[in-house]
Amino acid sequence: MDFEKLLEESVRTHGHLCPGQVLGVRLSIHGLALIGINDPKGADRKKLVVYVEIDRCATDAIQSVTGCSLGKRSLKFMDYGKMAATFVNLETGRAVRILAKEEAKVIAKNYIPDIEDKYKCQLEAYKIMPVEELFKWKEVEVKIPEEDMPGRPKRRVKCVNCGEHVQDNRDVVSEGRTLCKACAIGSYYRAL
């Protein structure tokens, strides 16, 4: 995989170049290699699911490099607030979780000592730092429920309270009544 080409594509998607873009591209390249995915946007596109743990710049880079997306149900967002992602090869079951090392921010200065601005320094250093200094990773097991797999919805039900439809077991059964989560536990919005 051509790092510079992938970074350019990622920047177009994200809107600007930043250290998170560089980390996300490098993290993706490493994760894909570790699980044996060579062509994530082509021949291997249906073999890959990626879980991201943060909604920041690196997530856009991961989406750009892997081709995974929420709409394809191949990108899963876990709101943990960690600069980490787990790459899952659906064909082999092999999975690896990669975490960006916090200390890489400090180590970056050793690689590019003449750049005073810490973000510019990190941006340039992250391009050349060894993966072992940028990330730590481990093989993991991810059991993806059938209703979370990419593809067509497995189930669709109607909320008895609001009448809206809910897909893929996202409903809640309370006192024998099928409800959407908004009706069962409250929503993030308030009707005006």
pLDDT tens digits along 98-154: 999 999 999 999 999 999 999 999 999 999 999 999 999 999 999 999 999 998 998
Q: What's the pLDDT score for residue 79?
A: 96
Give dist(CA 115, CA 85) in Å, integer: 29
Give dist(CA 119, CA 123) in Å, integer: 6
* Res 191 pLDDT > 90: no
Q: What's the pLDDT score for residue 1?
A: 81
* Residue 187 confidence class, pLDDT cut points 50, 70, 90: very high
Fold (topology level) of 3-146: 60s Ribosomal Protein L30; Chain: A; (3.30.1330)
Fold (topology level) of 152-185: Wheat Germ Agglutinin (Isolectin 2); domain 1 (3.30.60)
How large is the average pLDDT for residues 32-39?
98
Q: Are 148 and 73 in contact (CB under 8 A)?
A: yes
CA 12 from centre of chain: 18
Hey, is 52 helix, strand or coil? strand
Whole-prediction pTM: 0.93
Radius of gyration of the chain (CA): 20
* Residue 4 confidence class, pLDDT cut points 50, 70, 90: very high
Give dist(CA 64, CA 148) in Å, integer: 21
Provide the 8-state DSSP code for 176. Answer: T
Q: What's the pLDDT score for residue 54?
A: 96
Hey, is 33 helix, strand or coil? helix
Q: Domain spans of the chain?
A: 3-146, 152-185
CA 75 from centre of chain: 6
> Which residues, at least 6 apart from 45, have a Cβ–Cβ distance to it below 8 Å?
39, 67, 74
How large is the average pLDDT for residues 37-60?
97
pLDDT tens per residue across span 55-72? 999 999 999 999 999 999
